[in-house]
Amino acid sequence: MQSNSRQRTLSPNLKPYFSLLLGILVIGASIGLLASSDQLHLIVNAKWSIIAVSIIPMLCIYYLSGLQLAKCLKYSINIDLSHSEMLILPITMNFWSFIIPIKGGLFYSLIYLKVRHGIQIASGMSISLYIYFISLTLCGQLGIYIYLTSNTQNIWMLIISSLFTLSVPLCFILFFFLKQGALNIKETALVYLSRKFLTQMDSLVILINNVRLSIYLFALNIAHLVMMVIWYYVIVQISDINISLIYLVLVALVSKLSLIFKFTPGNIGVEQAIAGLALGAVGGDPGTGILISTTALVTSLAVILPIGIIHSCIFSKEISRKLIDTILHNKASRINRG
């Protein structure tokens, strides 16, 4: 009995390692099945010049992500983020996605905004959902365009892209039915959870109805995607890879969606496999998609790991200091009341 309980307590801690191992195995399988021997040689012998030169557009991508968050906070709560926060926070969020695969970056950002700026978790969640919906809408529209221009017969690409494009009206429909259902059920824990979710949905609807902010974020998302294409263009030029611009946009779309949907640490393996399969679905070379995505992963790790570790350590000290101050303040208050 004791050994069984020990196994149950240890197994959750092993899940991140299993998912990381799974991601590495998927990368290996994708390269082995879809990449040619020449592409494998390029991956193994990746030049440091690729990493060094492509870091510049990559940092611009992270800054644009932080700028989206900063604009939402300014419009909705009137809170300003510094330029350093706009750059470092998205990088550290990506670092935490390697530690907690499913929404680890979102979890870190919500805690950071709560501790550093006093932003409520519900408000931070609403802003994150809002940014996700804007990104999904753009990716869906471009996915439909690629489907129509590439003459692919893969109907699933059109269906998925259409769902992404309609994500905002589908959200409103979900909001309506969820609100109607929450009004007709008994007072239980489900009602409490529904009301918590509905509170976030109300805030989300307010953000979506802000036309000026939505247009601004849509423009930032386009700039974000353009910078990703530039990043990949730098990689293919240094690596001497032949690929059309429309295929580069498709790989960039896969990477952009990977920022939202994560299944392994940092989406290792998943993003590379989907990039290869996506190119293959529209008539491109799957190995090229894997090569570009894998090289981008190596470049990202060169920046994410040192900055993410340093920023997380500094922030953890800040949390500890504020926790100690709160405990001492509460203790002093009890003494004064006594």
The mean pLDDT of 258-280, rounded to a whole number, is 80
Q: What is the pLDDT of residue 211?
A: 85
Look at 22 and 105; give whichever has higher pLDDT. Answer: 105
Question: What is the rounded CA–CA span in Å between residue 218 and residue 49?
Answer: 33
C-alpha distances in angstroms, 208 versus 79, 90, 195, 204?
A: 19, 22, 20, 6
Map tokens 């509905």 to a residue.
198
Taking the CA atoms of residue 204, residue 198, residue 128 and residue 12 in that order, the dihedral angle to the nearest 10 degrees is -170
Mention every residue, 6+ apart, whose C-beta is less than 8 A from residue 314: none
Token pair recorded at residue 64: 């644009």
Per mean pLDDT, which of 26-35, 169-178, 218-227, 252-261 is the most reliable? Answer: 218-227
Q: How confident is the model at residue 266 (pLDDT cuts 50, 70, 90)?
A: confident
pTM of the model: 0.76
State the chain's mean pLDDT as an integer.
76
Map tokens 């017969």 to a residue.
153
pLDDT over 60 (residue 24): no
**For the chain, domain boundaries:** 49-318
Q: How confident is the model at residue 86 (pLDDT cuts 50, 70, 90)?
A: very high
The mean pLDDT of 158-177, rounded to a whole number, is 81
Q: How confident is the model at residue 171 (pLDDT cuts 50, 70, 90)?
A: confident
Q: How confident is the model at residue 12 (pLDDT cuts 50, 70, 90)?
A: very low
6: amino acid identity, one letter = R
Look at 182 and 79; give whichever has higher pLDDT. Answer: 79
Q: Contact, 164 vs 158, CB < 8 A?
A: no
pLDDT tens, 58-79? 899 999 999 999 999 998 888 9
